[in-house]
A and B are shown apart, each in its own frame.
Chain A
Amino acid sequence: MNEIIDGFITAVILIVTLDPEVYEIAFRSIYITLTATIIASVISIPIAMYLAFHDFRGKMSLVNLIHTLYALPTVLIGLLVFLLLSRKGPLGFFGLLFTPGAMIIGQVILIIPILVGLTYSALTSLDPVVKDTIISLGADYLQFVMSILREVRFVIYAAIAMAFGRAISEVGAAIIIGGNIKGSTRVLTTAISLETSMGNIEFSMALGIILLFIALIVNFVMTAIRRGG
């Protein structure tokens, strides 16, 4: 029990004294995950809209597949991206393996299914009357899209927050793709894993507290937007 309390105290000291290594790792985590979340959102929301408003053969199978991919194991993504980006892989000539960029790619793949799936569900559960009303009011296509998005915006925010949370907290893909390189690809989760294995419990706890804190802030921002909207 003492170990946990001591660890917690040291962790708090590391955090409030602005230990540069702790913050460097935390900022890198936020940077990588935020970039991935933005890229994934830009890709996912149009896909979800296309799925929701167009019919084509095999659509339901595709939707089922997307739902299945919610549970895509992160180590599998790690392996896939490793094989793609390794020098011997098809995209090896970019030299991306063991870089933050590669980790962003991994996270984008990880969260696209979540973003597409949740946005799609939100759009399809929308009352058809709303759709008809918007059209009958003479909206052009862009106005139609914007109005629909406006109707489901809270669900989309929640989906983005959830995707961000899944990406920033995963370790399996991060360690395979990034290699846990100090000063380059070491993020909160991989650092916690390493420091725990090295017995540096206090440092691990400081990083863990920050990770929790980030989740809290994301939630807080989402709630604030919802209230403000």
Chain B
Amino acid sequence: MDVKKIALVLLLLLSVIFIAGCTGTDSDVGTPTATATAAPEGTNTAANPELLRIATTTSLDNTGLLEALQERFEKDHDVTLQIIAAGTGKALEYGQRGDVDVLMVHDRSREDTFIDDGYGINRRGIAYNYFMIVGPESDPAGIAGMTPEDALTAIYTTAETNPDVVFISRGDSSGTHAKEQAIWTSAGYDYETEVEGAGDWYVEGGQGMGATLNHANEKFAYTLSDSGTYLSYKTELDLVPLVDEGDSLLNVYSAMQINPEMFDYVNSEMAREWINFLITPETQEFIGGFGVDEYGQPLFFESRGNFEVMGITQAEAEVPISA
């Protein structure tokens, strides 16, 4: 009978896959059939205290820092971190929907709103670095050494006559995109009416930081990048940093918990442990030294001892969250 034969083949295939799935290191792979048939236990964060979901900006993820921190944290804690790399905007949206336990983002003003609205608690500054405007070595708009505001103005005005001048925006409401908008605004432009759709020279890429750098590289274009991602991608790129000084280029990364009073199933306890882990002197030292061997300079600076530079209080940088 054919049906039997097929059933046999399917059964064999299934069992092979099941065995493969079960011997994997991941606890989640073994259970999706149960979850697919709508059994609530198994993948529920609340029912599974050893699971911690983190929504993060792509810059922290693309540099490999988060993966390194994950390994260190998981070694000492009975927990599996699940890292969802999105722009800051998307991460905040996940937070507002209660789909994650921790946010790691970099957009002070939107973070403030998020906390004021009651979604986030216990923010700690965990690291900082600087944004930079990178572009082709030929620098067709001649922005090298300018202030960020002057540089964007120069790009804007030269682009009208010089087709070689192209600027690629993240265009994804990430923290980097927010910073870019802030610089446009302080340069005197209305972002929505004057910059967006200003012409073919202004490209909204809609991708993460690493992908945007690759995009800019392909098009010999300018873009705004955090220094960490730029440095970790540098060997693949022909782009050079052209503007890297100016107060508006400060880039502060924060971690915060999702408010358990808002969403009672979030893994509040492990979220607290994770954030406290991030601000311990040992982790801070690790963050400050991350990438030095490979890139010759740190991708991130530690927040410990640098709260003044970061514009936050000492408590926001160094005091562990209490239970």
Is B83 a contact of A181 with CB atoms below 8 Å?
yes
- Cα distance A45–B67 when bound, in Å? 44
Q: For window 24-45 of chain B, which residues contact chain A by CB distance below 8 Å?
A: 24-26, 28-29, 31-36, 38, 40, 42-45
- Cα distance A31–B18 when bound, in Å? 8
Q: How many residues of B contact A (CB 8 A)?
A: 52
A26: nearest chain-B partner, CB-CB: B20
- Cα distance A17–B103 when bound, in Å? 37
List residues of chain B with CB within 8 A of the CB of A36.
36
Is B84 a contact of A104 with CB atoms below 8 Å?
no
Cβ contacts A92-108/B at 8 Å (1 or 0 each): 11111111111111001
Q: Does B10 contact A (CB under 8 A)?
A: yes
CB of B80 to closest CB in A, whole Å: 7
Residue in A27, A95, A150, A180 whose CB lies within 8 Å of B24 = A27
Say whether, besides A30-B17, A184-B26, A228 and B32 are in contact (CB < 8 Å). no
Q: How many residues of A contact B (CB 8 A)?
A: 51
Q: For window 147-187 of chain A, which residues contact chain B by CB distance below 8 Å?
A: 149-150, 153, 157, 179-185
Is A101 a contact of B17 with CB atoms below 8 Å?
no
List residues of chain A with CB within 8 A of the CB of B309.
none
Is A101 a contact of B5 with CB atoms below 8 Å?
no
List residues of chain B with CB within 8 A of the CB of A101.
31-36, 42-43
- Cα distance A101–B84 when bound, in Å? 16
List residues of chain A with CB within 8 A of the CB of B20.
27, 31
List residues of chain A with CB within 8 A of the CB of B236.
199
Cβ contacts B33-67/A at 8 Å (1 or 0 each): 11110101011111100000100000000100001
- Cα distance A101–B208 when bound, in Å? 26
Q: Does A5 contact B (CB under 8 A)?
A: no
- Cα distance A35–B37 when bound, in Å? 11
Is B62 a contact of A198 with CB atoms below 8 Å?
yes
Q: Does B85 contact A (CB under 8 A)?
A: yes
Q: Does A88 contact B (CB under 8 A)?
A: yes
Residue in A181, A197, A229 whose CB lies within 8 Å of B5 = A229
Is A34 a contact of B13 with CB atoms below 8 Å?
yes
List residues of chain A with CB within 8 A of the CB of B33.
35, 101, 104
Residue in A104, A183, A229 whose CB lies within 8 Å of B32 = A104
CB of A179 to closest CB in B, whole Å: 4
List residues of chain A with CB within 8 A of the CB of B260.
none
Is B5 a contact of A99 with CB atoms below 8 Å?
no
Q: Does A62 contact B (CB under 8 A)?
A: no
Is A95 a contact of B43 with CB atoms below 8 Å?
yes
CB of B126 to closest CB in A, whole Å: 20
Is A31 a contact of B84 with CB atoms below 8 Å?
no
Q: Does A67 contact B (CB under 8 A)?
A: no
Is A199 a contact of B214 with CB atoms below 8 Å?
yes
List residues of chain A with CB within 8 A of the CB of B14.
34, 38
Describe A's contact surface by its main secondary structure: helix
Is A31 a contact of B29 with CB atoms below 8 Å?
yes
Is B84 a contact of A181 with CB atoms below 8 Å?
yes
Is A99 a contact of B97 with CB atoms below 8 Å?
no
- Cα distance A32–B33 when bound, in Å? 9
Cβ contacts A66-99/B at 8 Å (1 or 0 each): 0000000000000000000011110011111111
Q: Does B192 contact A (CB under 8 A)?
A: no
Q: Does A130 contact B (CB under 8 A)?
A: no
List residues of chain A with CB within 8 A of the CB of B26.
24, 183-184
CB of B21 to closest CB in A, whole Å: 5
B62: nearest chain-A partner, CB-CB: A198
Q: Does A39 contact B (CB under 8 A)?
A: yes
B214: nearest chain-A partner, CB-CB: A199
B24: nearest chain-A partner, CB-CB: A24
List residues of chain B with CB within 8 A of the CB of A150.
2-3
B residues with a Cβ closer than 8 A to A are 2-3, 5-6, 9-10, 13-14, 17-18, 20-21, 24-26, 28-29, 31-36, 38, 40, 42-47, 53, 62, 67, 80, 82-86, 97-99, 207-208, 210-211, 214, 233, 236, 263, 265
CB-CB nearest 5 A-B residue pairs:
A101-B35, A197-B211, A95-B44, A100-B32, A87-B98
Kindly list 20 other residue pairs between chains A and B, CB separation below 8 angstroms, not including A89-B97, A94-B40, A199-B236. A24-B25, A27-B24, A27-B29, A32-B32, A86-B99, A94-B44, A95-B43, A95-B45, A100-B29, A101-B35, A101-B43, A146-B3, A157-B6, A180-B84, A184-B80, A185-B28, A196-B211, A198-B211, A221-B9, A225-B2
A residues with a Cβ closer than 8 A to B are 24, 27-28, 30-32, 34-36, 38-39, 86-89, 92-105, 108, 146, 149-150, 153, 157, 179-185, 194, 196-199, 221, 225, 228-229
- Interface pairs (10), CB distance under 8 Å: A27-B20, A35-B32, A95-B45, A95-B47, A98-B99, A99-B35, A101-B42, A102-B35, A180-B84, A185-B28
